[in-house]
Structure 1
Amino acid sequence: MTSSTAFDIHLMTEDDHDQVLSLLLNSFFQDEPITRCIQLTDTLDFAKSIIQGCLKDKCSFVAYHPQTKQIAAICLNEIIYKNNNENNSQWGEKVRFIFEILSAVHKKRSIFEEFSADKLLHIYIISVDQSARGHGLASKLIAKSIEYGKELQMIGAYAEATNLISLKCFKQQKFDVFDELIYANYNPQRLAGLKGEIYDRCYLVARKL
């Protein structure tokens, strides 16, 4: 197997747009447990919007495969300001429902308050193509994002780890669990399919930089 150190990791640019879009549509949305559970299928416009927002903040990373020269993994990040009130009304009900879940895991604790921060790095989406898994790329992309967040003088970073596999990657980079949400307790009717130790909950994770 090719060592993960051979992957070319760099800041995402406009030139990466189409490959990042393809990875979101053909890997992330198909593999993500929540989107599979609620059968989210109409994802093109949502994916394009995510990419444009992350390109604007210029703090996301892509990893190119050393042989194929194609993007094998992405870490889409954004800068979120305290008291940010994002309007998600333009999206369909299923996308809004996902945002509601992610928002619910923040209800009990404010990372902004606990870190005394006006803005934080939000590690939004991590996706590794199936052909490139097993190289530790998710953890390496998180590490690169943390390193860059320090260069941007961010006080801290946070993420919503939507399963245990993702959580382990964040823990490798010294993130702590601030809260968790059990999917079936949040909405037994729609999320009952998310069960078992790996996929049954979402974790709010964060660390100071």
Structure 2
Amino acid sequence: MDIQCLTVKLLRHKITEILIPHRFQWSAKRMHHFKNLVHTIRFTSPADSDTMEYKMIGPEHSDQVIEHLRHNFFADEPLNKAAGLCQNGSSCAELEDHCAEAIHHRMSVMAVDVKDAGTCKIAGVVLNGILKPDDTAKALEKLDSSGDAHFRKIFEMLHRHNLKHNLFEHFDVESMFDVRILSVDSSYRGQGIANELVKRSVAVARKNGFRLMKADATGIFSQKIFRSNGFEVFSEQPYCKYTDENGKVILPVEAPHIKMQLLYKAICGDEQDDNAKTH
């Protein structure tokens, strides 16, 4: 255990010593002591340390990023889970192709933990792509030749919803910055990494002159993160209302995830984001 983790563990033990014997004796002095300890833990957490670096993802990182996704996003994402698309650590050829396409656009960002000398572990990634007006219709047509029924089930819902609720027509834009996948390693969750990845994606979109960003947020946690970064809900698809001709729910997503949200964020070209550095 490194010194930082040991420090946090000792501080948490100290909080327990304060809370348990004196849970009904909250003097002003004890409350002040408790607040100081909580503040110390917040600013000693791994997410706030100097070991986390944020970098642009290039094609040379593709294998490492896909491996991260196999052990996190592929099995954990609500729609993937509901469709039984893949298990933790397993591969999914069509989903990996979808990810590789986003990486090829060179708009994606990763969080890398470099605390161990000579090693760089991916703590999280956000895969972003460039979306043109005809891309979604073409992707829907391409699904007809897909050999993976689970993959088709997921992306047919996403593509049809985007075609029905057309952001291109509504905002009169020729291209959009598409936030496609947001994933954080399970051992790093709860540390603000996903939020930081979205912030940096906004900076990348602004730097490259995009007027509009979009995201298909399929889970409650990603929806909260996007909204906290200024994204607004354009339309929603409740999972319980996405049914086949017999009224059976096609994607029985587990609670607390109850709907997919199509979110957008308009970007002002002259606005500066001093908090997000992309390099």
TM-score by length of 1: 0.91
Higher relative contact order (CA 8 A, sep 6+): 1
- Name the counterpart of 1:20: 65
Instruction: Give 1:139 deviation, angstroms.
Output: 1.3
Aligned runs of 1:118-129 on 2, under 5 Å? 118-129=174-185
One of 251, 259, 270 as aligned partner of 1:191: 251
Q: Which runs of no fewer than 5 residues in structure 1 stay unpaired?
A: none
More strand, by proportion? 1
Look up the SS of the partner of 1:199 in the other structure. coil
- Name the counterpart of 1:113: 169
- Name the counterpart of 1:10: 55
Worse overlay, 13-22 or 119-128: 13-22
Separation in structure 2 between the aligned mates of residue 182 and residue 57 of structure 1, nearest angstrom: 31
Instruction: Give 1:99 deviation, angstroms.
Output: 0.7
Look up the SS of the partner of 2:224 in the other structure. helix
- Name the counterpart of 2:32: none
Aligned runs of 1:174-189 on 2, under 5 Å? 174-187=230-243, 188-189=248-249
Aligned runs of 1:60-75 on 2, under 5 Å? 60-68=108-116, 69-75=120-126
> How many residues align structurally?
207
Amino acid at match of 2:65: V
Confirm or deny: 8 A CA contact 1:14 1:55 kept in the other structure.
Answer: yes
Separation in structure 2 between the aligned mates of residue 107 and residue 17 of structure 1, nearest angstrom: 29
Amino acid at match of 1:139: N
- Name the counterpart of 2:265: 207
- Name the counterpart of 1:156: 212
Instruction: Give 1:167 deviation, angstroms.
Output: 0.4
Confirm or deny: 8 A CA contact 1:24 1:47 kept in the other structure.
Answer: no
Q: Percent identity?
A: 25
Separation in structure 2 between the aligned mates of residue 74 and residue 94 of structure 1, nearest angstrom: 23
- Name the counterpart of 1:138: 194
Deviation string for 1:16-64 (max 9, x for gaps)? 2222111111110111111111111274312431232123211011110
Worse overlay, 6-15 or 119-128: 6-15
- After superposition, the Cα gap between the structure-2 partners of 1:55 and 1:189, relative to the gap in structure 1 and judged at 3 Å, is closer
1:52 aligns with 2:100: yes
Separation in structure 2 between the aligned mates of residue 156 and residue 76 of structure 1, nearest angstrom: 16
Instruction: Give 1:77 deviation, angstroms.
Output: 0.7
Instruction: Give 1:107 deviation, angstroms.
Output: 4.5
Amino acid at match of 1:50: H
- After superposition, the Cα gap between the structure-2 partners of 1:104 and 1:51, relative to the gap in structure 1 and judged at 3 Å, is closer
- After superposition, the Cα gap between the structure-2 partners of 1:91 and 1:43, relative to the gap in structure 1 and judged at 3 Å, is farther
Confirm or deny: 8 A CA contact 1:162 1:201 kept in the other structure.
Answer: yes
Amino acid at match of 2:129: E
TM-score by length of 2: 0.70
CA RMSD of the aligned region, Å? 1.7
Confirm or deny: 8 A CA contact 1:21 1:51 kept in the other structure.
Answer: yes
Separation in structure 2 between the aligned mates of residue 37 and residue 169 of structure 1, nearest angstrom: 22
Amino acid at match of 1:177: V
Confirm or deny: 8 A CA contact 2:242 2:250 kept in the other structure.
Answer: no
Q: Which runs of no fewer than 5 residues in structure 2 stay unpaired?
A: 1-44, 268-279
- After superposition, the Cα gap between the structure-2 partners of 1:5 and 1:175, relative to the gap in structure 1 and judged at 3 Å, is farther
